[in-house]
Chain A
Amino acid sequence: MSYLIPTTLEDALDALSGPVPVAVIAGGTDWFPAQGERAYGGTLLDVTRVAGLRGITPHHDGWRIGAATTWSDVLHADLPRAFDGLKQAAREVGSVQIQNAGTVAGNLCNASPAADGVPPLLCLDTEVELSSLRGVRRVALGAFIAGVRQTLRAPDELVTALYIPPLPAGARGGFTKIGGRKYLVISVAMVGAVLELSSGRIASARVAVGAASPVAQRLEVLEQALVGADLAGALDQVTPARLSTLSPISDVRGSAEYRGEAVAEAIRRTLKLIMEGPSHG
């Protein structure tokens, strides 16, 4: 029973590769609620002071987001418009209190189907960097989250960074969250999108949906159908058939039927938001 606060990655990875199980904690915003009221009796590895783990930096014409970067860091970073959806999602993660503590990688490792950060990161073609004493590997975000509360992270691995490949020039992002109240709310469904526009038409599209399947997913069939469309055409392309890979469930936040409809509407609104700019009213 101890609390480890390493300042170097090597020490952090060393701690993870020992014989004793170690729980990783960063912002704590998911860890404590999962732990419940009972005092924790094991060993905790706090990664918030590991050098190089926090911050957003340009990287090979793309971007690197340190694993312990908080949602407030995302919100205040100077980033191209393709990241607008990620920033909009950052504002929707819990509350200011949660955004000040909660980290981007924590949101991914928690692997909730309703994680607000996942759809916009999927739309940025994010890769997850996993480090261990065995080495470093990168996994596509869509593969990294393997199921509800399941990831590909091995017990001795630490998520160290997210990598976002170069983005099409002029790409714009957007995000729409549907929830039961204004703040502090778990999504009924949410949609992220990144569009490359040319003369009012979509040159390329990436659309991802969360909380409507065990793992948030990109809608590739829809993305292809959107290419070449203007706004009116794009809205028409959002058909049930192109959403068929989703599997919305009924729960306390809404019925499966409602989720399905809300997703389609949220996609249309996200497309509109990106192609028209923020609406008034």
Chain B
Amino acid sequence: MDKVATSQVTGFTLNNAPVQVAARPGERLSQALRERLGARDVKIGCNAGDCGACTVLVDGAPVCACLMPVQQAAGRRVETLAGLAQGDPDALRLKESFQHHQAAQCGICTPGMMVSAVALLRAEPQPDVAQVQDALGGVLCRCTGYRKIIDAVVGAHAADTLQEAAQELGAPARRFDGKAKVEGRDLFGDDVAPEGALVARVIRSPYPHARFSFGDLSAFAARAGVEAVLTAADVKGLNAYGVIPGFIDQPVFAVDTVLFRGEAVACVVGDAETMLALDPADFPVSWEPLDALMTVPQALAEGAPLLHSDRPGNIMCGGFVACGDAEAALAAADVVVDGFYETSFVEHAYIEPEAGWAEVVEGRVVVQACTQATGMDRETLAQVLGIDRADIRILPTAVGGGFGSKIDVSVQPFLALAALRTGRAVRMCYTRVESMQSTTKRHPARIDIRVGAKADGTLAGLSFHGDFNTGSYASWGPTVANRVPVHASGPYFIRDYRAQSRAVHTHCPPSGAFRGFGVPQSAIAQETAFDVLADRLGMDPLEFRLKNALRDGQPTVCGQVFEQGVGIHACLEALKPAYQAAKRACAVFNAENDGVRRGVGVAGGWYGCGNTSLPNPSTFKAGLRPDGTLVLHQGAMDIGQGSNTVIVQIFARAFGVPVADVTVLGADTDITPDAGKTSASRQTFVSGNAARLTGEALRAHVLQLANASDGAEIILNDGHLHVRDADRVQHVDLSRLEADPEGYALKAVKTYDPPVAPMDGNGQGVPYAQFGYAAHLCVAEIDLKLGQVTPVSFTAAHDVGRAINPLLVEGQVQGGIAQGLGMALMEEFIPGRTENLHDYLIPTIGDVPPIETLILEIEDAHGPYGAKGLGEHVLIPTAPAIFNAVYNATGVRLMHAPATPARVRAALKEAGYA
């Protein structure tokens, strides 16, 4: 070859077909594959080799396509999932196995996982667990907890023997949207923009607190390839967004002053090549850095400057719940344990960065992006753009993980403003650094707790004060402040209780919604304090919990009484066999080993499903077309958790036909009613109920037409609708009915809103219509010299009321435990320091041990078919169970999350370990 590659054209084989591509010198292979060759099945999560989502095979070897210049692929054989899934025998087996085990939840890591697994299976057709972990260790997953992926790869060789489960409610049905995910066909936020779309890029503050001024913006906007520069001056509506009325405080573009590192001040729009070459440092803005308040103590200090002038003391809001007399009860208690706990910022770290595109179609703004909340996105854009909601269409893509952060808008306002300004299609995808800098985080907490008990083990008083670092803007901070005092008792009967929370502003990124809304933090304090208390009482920690577990008919700390469905006692009971076995195994292990110790820890948890004491409706629509097509308009966002599957299972059961008879449309704000946001573990419960009511209403229409009884059977066959009632079978001719403007011969629209009631000044009331319950057991090993804590196994008991889909229940549990493990042991977002996925660590496939899921079904009075929410419950007991295992093994009480090796080692030394 010539020493100088003057030719700009690179030729190679892509999925067995010769391709040629004229790329920039040094262009990433991933970029060339996606943007020049249409291989959108190659996903980009970090552009730094930290996540492995972009894994492709080059001459059979897995590599990160983001780290290879496309020119290096010249003459070589490149394979991606979409190609492999067409006919590679190992990929075909993996496709079956991945679906069977639900190894793909959101699906964004699936191409990287499956491509890596193909390379493994080619070398080792029947790998063991360790081989799978070694081979897939370079691909991060944030949804599954990895164990289902391991199962799927280990079992792939026998894929042709797998029996496909039934689809009806209660069966462990494969995800209905799973096939596209395992074939690389699912389309995420950055996969849908049309060719030639302009690219938008946000200019962000490099300082946590600074004043700024712009230079010559019009000169910058006149640069070749730049189409527009947007700033606050270009926001025609309200230059603010937020999620809670009264707390709409985050500017789309900051004006004069920024309050966190990563805050947007401007947006540049231009053609793709220009934008790729853009150096944000060239943008005409000058900064005057100001002192920043980065911690709660700094922000609360006497005389600290205010982030928001109308929020004295930098306190945004607070929450309070009290019953009985906590102080008196503690004074009268036989044993009291207190403690101060600290937790850290936790990053959602979904593998799909925020992405999407927008255009203006016939005067309406259409935004297609990854989101958890289509209705709220539309609401926000209407305010920001100053246009009517009806003139906005939110068309969500598949969502590559959300976990709370994609409830808030990110790219949407920029895209909409840019599309309106330029009149052209505009796309953007956050870089990983940008995503981590600018989107919401889990609140760091500083918690003081005191818990008392009588000598017989009865809880006697709990006092809780938590300060939560809510960052620079409100986001979901008020929700965290409200939820924590309601939940900080844990699922226990406590007569005398006082819990207070405060959300405190700092110059950090906004803290917002993250799986559990503050409850995982408070559970660490409460559940680990319980173990110390049990220890001082000489009681077994599991027995202590059983003694105090809330029962049907007993009031919660909010005075709410559930006459049925309080499942914590059953969850704790269910752990007993594993607990006894684990205690014996730990004793044997500790007798045989030096330098490492094993312990067993348990923790309980509960979580109220839906908004706290606020309306939280979901609306569904379904219809029968004259041709007999049964259509469900499904607006609940599936962010990997499975509402595309579970909601349809519920609707099909309610209407009374097999799942296969249902045609599902949406989500799309033009055609789906607002199902509300995917948050607060509400979709199965709230939207499930709306789908159930809709199915029942449509069924009632059909039965009425057929003059049939409630128990009649509806049969949809080739467009023919029959009703069988006892021995009578009647044909219902839908084509004889006049179709409505939407084309439906019969239609039903139903709303469900959970029955809640406001709380009074002491937090007494009806915050939630239902709670779900959980108890986890963890066996952990502690390396005494290195301070490393390694979970060895988990047993997780979850009361889900009714398992609509047990396979998806297991997926939620395992994924939640992986996130709880990360929060407990390694995850710590530090603004300005851990803004990437190699300094910010999340668990890999080698860090999550086997998890046994025990599904309990203690029917809820309100849930559809008794079902309770689950998504957030799954990580609440995890971290305290790990910490309690460490306490059991070593007597060392961990009070700072994450318990990194350095922190654990320091605690061990303080406790006298050599």
List residues of B whose CB falls within 8 A of some A CB. Answer: 1, 3-6, 24-28, 47-50, 52, 55, 61-64, 66-69, 71-72, 74, 116, 119, 133-135, 137-140, 273, 276-279, 431, 433, 593, 785-787, 826, 828, 830, 833-834, 838-839, 841, 843-847, 900-902, 905-906
The verdict on A94 contacting chain B, using a C-beta distance below 8 Å, is: yes
Which listed residue (A181, A184, A252) contacts B138, Cβ 8 A?
A: A184
Taking CB atoms, residues of chain A closer than 8 Å to B25 are 1-3, 40, 43-44
Taking CB atoms, residues of chain A closer than 8 Å to B63 are 97, 100-101
Are B277 and A101 touching (Cβ within 8 A)?
A: no
**In the complex, which residue of chain B has the Cβ closest to the Cβ of A46?**
B72
Could you pull out 8 A-B pairs where Cβ atoms are within 8 angstroms? A4-B3, A46-B69, A48-B72, A100-B61, A180-B841, A180-B901, A183-B138, A258-B905
Taking CB atoms, residues of chain B closer than 8 Å to A97 are 49, 52, 55, 62-64, 67, 116, 138
The verdict on A236 contacting chain B, using a C-beta distance below 8 Å, is: no
Report Cα–Cα, A28/B73, bound state, in Å.
12
Q: A181-B826, A252-B833, A252-B839 are in contact. Are A3 and B116 (CB under 8 A)?
A: no
Taking CB atoms, residues of chain A closer than 8 Å to B278 are 38
Most chain A C-beta atoms within 10 Å of own C-beta, residue among B49, B133, B785, B838: B49
Report Cα–Cα, A25/B61, bound state, in Å.
19
**In the complex, which residue of chain B has the Cβ closest to the Cβ of A43?**
B25
Interface pairs A-B: 9 shortest CB-CB = A95-B138, A182-B846, A183-B137, A11-B3, A3-B25, A258-B902, A254-B902, A33-B48, A183-B844
Which listed residue (B1, B55, B66, B785) contacts A49, Cβ 8 A?
A: B1
Taking CB atoms, residues of chain B closer than 8 Å to A139 are none
List residues of A whose CB falls within 8 A of some B CB. Answer: 1-8, 11-12, 14-15, 25, 27-29, 31-33, 37-41, 43-44, 46, 48-49, 72, 91, 94-98, 100-101, 178, 180-186, 188, 252, 254-255, 257-258, 261-262, 265, 281
**In the complex, which residue of chain A has the Cβ closest to the Cβ of B846?**
A182
Question: How far, in Å, is B342 (CB) from chain A's closest CB?
Answer: 16
Are A41 and B844 touching (Cβ within 8 A)?
A: no
Are A101 and B3 touching (Cβ within 8 A)?
A: no
Taking CB atoms, residues of chain A closer than 8 Å to B830 are 252
Taking CB atoms, residues of chain B closer than 8 Å to A32 are 28, 47-49, 66-67
Report Cα–Cα, A41/B282, bound state, in Å.
15
**In the complex, which residue of chain B has the Cβ closest to the Cβ of A28?**
B67
Taking CB atoms, residues of chain A closer than 8 Å to B833 are 252
Are A27 and B838 touching (Cβ within 8 A)?
A: no
Known: A101-B64, A101-B67, A252-B833. 6 other contacts (CB 8 A): A15-B4, A95-B49, A186-B838, A252-B828, A255-B906, A261-B785
Are B71 and A37 touching (Cβ within 8 A)?
A: no
Taking CB atoms, residues of chain B closer than 8 Å to A254 are 900-902
Taking CB atoms, residues of chain A closer than 8 Å to B27 are 39
Are B1 and A7 touching (Cβ within 8 A)?
A: yes
Report Cα–Cα, A212/B433, bound state, in Å.
27
Which listed residue (A5, A40, A100, A101) contacts B74, Cβ 8 A?
A: A5
Are A180 and B843 touching (Cβ within 8 A)?
A: no
Are B64 and A182 touching (Cβ within 8 A)?
A: no
Are B137 and A95 touching (Cβ within 8 A)?
A: yes
Question: How far, in Å, is A120 (CB) from chain B's closest CB?
Answer: 19
Taking CB atoms, residues of chain B closer than 8 Å to A183 are 133, 137-138, 844-846
**In the complex, which residue of chain B has the Cβ closest to the Cβ of A261?**
B905
Report Cα–Cα, A14/B3, bound state, in Å.
9
Taking CB atoms, residues of chain A closer than 8 Å to B828 are 252
Taking CB atoms, residues of chain B closer than 8 Å to A255 are 902, 906
Question: How far, in Å, is A71 (CB) from chain B's closest CB?
Answer: 12
Are A258 and B846 touching (Cβ within 8 A)?
A: no
Are B826 and A180 touching (Cβ within 8 A)?
A: yes
Are B1 and A2 touching (Cβ within 8 A)?
A: no
Taking CB atoms, residues of chain B closer than 8 Å to A261 are 785, 905
Taking CB atoms, residues of chain B closer than 8 Å to A252 are 828, 830, 833-834, 839
Are B116 and A96 touching (Cβ within 8 A)?
A: yes
Which listed residue (A39, A258, A281) contacts B24, Cβ 8 A?
A: A39
